[in-house]
Copies of this chain bind each other. A is one copy, B any other.
Amino acid sequence: MPMVKKTLKQRIVDASVVLFQQDGYHNVTVDRIVEYIGASKGGFYHNFKSKDELLYEIHDVFISYVIKQSQEAYDKYNTPITRLCAMLQTLTKVFDMYQAHITVFYEESRSLPEEYSEIIHEKRDQYRDILQKVIEEGQQTKDFRTELPCTIVTMAIVGMINWTYKWFKQSGPLTMEEITEVFTDMVLRAIVTEQAMDEAVQFMVKGEPAVETGFINT
């Protein structure tokens, strides 16, 4: 295992994500970031043109990864149902790992200067388009119900998944695997046609749920 020394730039990004998630972009000063990792302001501005550029970096790393993973999930399978399941799996997994990034992504993008936010918005749309494409193709093959407008279905799924960043706690009683399983079940039941339900049942929840423990946030 090559224990490579992390560059200052990487340390800045890592620390910033955590701090931004905790307290929000505007409540975290550059001074605090560099103090947190025992560096200096000079080092910061040597690596970043501005605080905004750092924010952009965080956004871009995350959304680029999401797109890459989504596309891979799409390419790996060849039916709408398996593709959808793979994407749900992939996305929740990413959301498990990158929760801090996501929080920053969905709450601080307003602070991005226009030059940056244009790029980010485009990529964010790409992410949605991949999912929407799966839904559309499923409707064409009659795997998915055509009574439901695919834009709304897409956004319903996106909302369900994205919102996890607001309430999921890695230290909480629920694992992301459980959540994924339930989400998948719900989505499939909601949109798969009767004729295609045969293929879908294998991805659904079996048996009784685990004991409900504790409670969680909004």
Contact B186 A148 (CB under 8 A): yes
Q: Would you list the 6 A-B pairs with minimal beta carbon distance, nearest first?
A: A159-B163, A26-B26, A186-B190, A149-B209, A152-B182, A190-B190
Give the residues in chain B near A125, CB-CB below 8 Å. Answer: 217-218
Q: How far is the CA of A127 from the CA of B27 in the complex (A)?
A: 28
Give residues in A with beta carbon < 8 Å to B.
23-24, 26-27, 106-107, 110-111, 121, 124-125, 127-128, 146-153, 155-156, 158-164, 166-167, 174, 178-179, 182-183, 185-187, 189-191, 205-210, 212, 215-218
Q: How far is the CA of A206 from the CA of B125 in the complex (A)?
A: 30
Contact B182 A128 (CB under 8 A): no
Question: With A163-B163, A164-B159, A190-B186 in contact, do A216 and B26 touch (Cβ < 8 Å)?
Answer: no
Q: How far is the CA of A26 from the CA of B218 in the complex (A)?
A: 23
Contact A179 B163 (CB under 8 A): no
Contact for A149 among B148, B163, B212, CB less than 8 A:
B212
